[in-house]
């Protein structure tokens, strides 16, 4: 992943590209933090990526389809097993160093908050699921942008989960990893109290380099779909609007509730089961609820069509589906914001094949599929648009599908 820094993004200036941490750099940083604040050497270093969802938004908690890739940006966890029940957590996630010390039994919903909920919450969730985990020490560093809708929290959970699975030889790091996904998700849902749907943890643990993951959230089956941008002369530009996540928690929950209410009225277990959209819309009196349903049902269809195009070697033709996805999230699901809409509009105007918001919305990131030689033009146009609108300056990344969480040392 590369980033175009603010100071190089003056009007019409060709953006400068920076690369992200290599595995070696991430591991070295984590080891240093460990040595300085815990002492000695870790037993190993594990890394887990953030994600970009290519298409299939707000479908996971409706038992539908998603298509994420793993980012090259990862959280690195240097960890060591202890033979008693003590836990020491040290993190340097946003620049400052924060430490937590306690006993493993101290970690429970309500007793830990913030980054400790995502970190220690995994140990709690493992024990809840019947895995024997004792004390441990861990130092965490990250180059996943925080709070940008790129699953920085899942990267923490999955990195810690994989580390504990390794330290305690839990047999959870196998090819399937569904149990580990469930544990990481329980930490997020029950300890951090974020009612998210499982897309992020699955993306961090089950993706494959060079591929997008076609995820069926009904039974959590998945297929690796080749996603070869380079072969088609394309790049995926990620635009972090840096817009604050306005009311994200309450709004996310409200969308979930609306979908559950609609399912009840329609007599289906989930919106995934809606076979006849016209009939479903006719059966709903509430216009807002009907639009929520229309987004979910049409978004599932778009994922299916998108993957069919990829299977047919037609990656250059997916742009209109990305555009339709964004428009549906803006008009029917109402989870975009002025910054996301402006970024998408500017990307399309400057020649992107397609552009859309990615993740939960209400701020965070958009993505644009661009010809390699048009990328700078698109980034420049977005930066200019943001400056003219007096928005925060956006950050830009160019990403390719990286590997899922793994032990790096």
Tell me the pairing of strands 234-240 and 2-4. Answer: unpaired
How far is Cα 304 from Cα 52, in angstroms, rounded to an integer? 18
- Render 223-257 in DSSP notation, one character per residue: EEEE--TGGGTEEEEEEE-----TTHHHHHHHHHH
In degrees, rounded to 5, the angle at the alpha carbon of residue 66 between the alpha carbons of residues 62 and 67 is 175
Task: Compare residues 109 and 197 and give the one whose CB is closer to ligand GLA.
Answer: 197
Give the interface with ligand GLA as residue ranges (CB under 6 A). 53, 57-58, 60-61, 196-200, 359-360
Closest separation in Å from C-beta 32 to ligand GLA: 31
Task: Compare residues 57 and 339 and give the one whose CB is closer to ligand GLA.
Answer: 57
Task: Compare residues 218 and 384 and give the one whose CB is closer to ligand GLA.
Answer: 218
Closest separation in Å from C-beta 81 to ligand GLA: 30
Helix or strand (DSSP H, E) at 359: none
Tokens of residue 183, six digits:
């544990």
Left (φ > 0), alpha (ψ -120 to 50) or beta: where does 39 sit?
Answer: left
Task: Compare residues 55 and 79 and give the one whose CB is closer to ligand GLA.
Answer: 55
Closest separation in Å from C-beta 202 to ligand GLA: 9
Closest separation in Å from C-beta 213 to ligand GLA: 14
Tokens 């919903």 appear where? Answer: 109
Closest CA to 20 of 409, 403, 397: 397
Task: Compare residues 163 and 365 and give the one whose CB is closer to ligand GLA.
Answer: 365
Rg (CA), the chain: 21
Closest CA to 157 of 50, 34, 85, 28: 50
Closest separation in Å from C-beta 264 to ligand GLA: 20
**Total residue length of the chain:** 409
Phi first, then psi: what are they for 187, rounded to 5°?
-60, -45
**Sheet containing 68-81: order of strands:** 98-103, 86-92, 136-142, 68-81, 44-53, 406-407
Closest separation in Å from C-beta 143 to ligand GLA: 19
Task: Compare residues 137 and 200 and give the one whose CB is closer to ligand GLA.
Answer: 200
Burial 315-329 (b: 16+ CB within 10 A, else e): beebbebbbbbbebb
How far is Cα 321 from Cα 306, in angstroms, rounded to an integer? 7
Q: Which long-range contacts (CB under 8 A, 24 or more apart) does 164-169 make?
A: 164/79, 164/122, 164/123, 164/126, 164/133, 164/136, 166/43, 166/44, 166/46, 166/79, 166/407, 167/43, 167/44, 167/79, 167/80, 167/81, 167/136, 168/81, 168/131, 168/132, 168/133, 168/134
Closest separation in Å from C-beta 45 to ligand GLA: 26
Active site residues: 200
Tokens of residue 70, six digits:
């793993």
Closest separation in Å from C-beta 302 to ligand GLA: 13
Task: Compare residues 137 and 188 and give the one whose CB is closer to ligand GLA.
Answer: 188
Task: Compare residues 296 and 408 and give the one whose CB is closer to ligand GLA.
Answer: 296
């Amino acid at each position: 992943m590369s980033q175009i820094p603010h100071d190089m993004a003056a009007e019409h200036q060709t953006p400068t590209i920076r690369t992200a941490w290599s595995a070696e750099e991430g591991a070295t940083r984590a080891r240093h933090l460990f040595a300085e604040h815990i002492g000695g050497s870790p037993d190993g270093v594990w890394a887990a990526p953030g994600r970009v969802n290519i298409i299939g938004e707000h479908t996971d908690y409706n038992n539908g389809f998603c298509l994420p890739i793993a980012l090259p940006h990862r959280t690195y966890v240097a960890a060591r097993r202890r033979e008693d029940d003590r836990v020491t957590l040290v993190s340097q996630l946003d620049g400052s160093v924060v430490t937590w010390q306690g006993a493993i039994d101290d970690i429970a919903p309500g007793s830990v908050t913030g980054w400790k909920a995502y970190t220690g919450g995994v140990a709690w969730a493992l024990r809840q699921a019947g895995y024997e985990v004792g004390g441990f020490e861990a130092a965490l560093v990250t180059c996943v942008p925080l709070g940008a809708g790129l699953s920085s929290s899942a990267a923490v959970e999955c990195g810690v989960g994989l580390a504990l699975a390794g330290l305690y030889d839990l047999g959870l790091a196998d090819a399937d990893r569904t149990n580990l996904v469930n544990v990481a998700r329980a930490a997020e849902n029950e300890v951090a109290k974020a009612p998210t749907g499982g897309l992020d943890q699955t993306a961090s643990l089950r993706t494959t380099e060079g591929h997008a993951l076609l995820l069926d959230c009904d039974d959590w089956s998945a297929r690796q779909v080749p996603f070869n941008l380079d072969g088609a002369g394309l790049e995926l530009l990620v635009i972090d609007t840096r817009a604050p996540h306005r009311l994200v928690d309450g709004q996310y929950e409200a969308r979930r509730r609306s979908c559950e209410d609609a399912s009840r009225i329609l007599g289906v277990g989930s919106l995934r089961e809606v076979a006849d959209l016209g009939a479903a819309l006719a059966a709903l009196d509430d216009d807002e609820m009907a639009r929520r349903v229309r987004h979910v049902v049409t978004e599932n269809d778009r994922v299916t069509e998108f993957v069919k195009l990829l299977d047919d070697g037609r990656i250059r033709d997916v742009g209109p589906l990305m555009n339709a996805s964004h428009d549906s999230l803006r008009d029917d699901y109402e989870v975009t914001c002025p910054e996301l809409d402006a970024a998408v509009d500017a990307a399309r105007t400057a020649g992107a094949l397609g552009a859309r918001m990615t993740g939960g919305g209400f701020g965070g990131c958009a993505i644009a599929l661009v010809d390699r030689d048009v990328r700078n033009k698109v980034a420049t146009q977005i930066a200019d648009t943001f400056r003219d609108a007096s928005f925060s300056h956006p950050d830009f990344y160019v990403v390719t599908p990286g590997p899922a969480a793994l032990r790096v040392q």
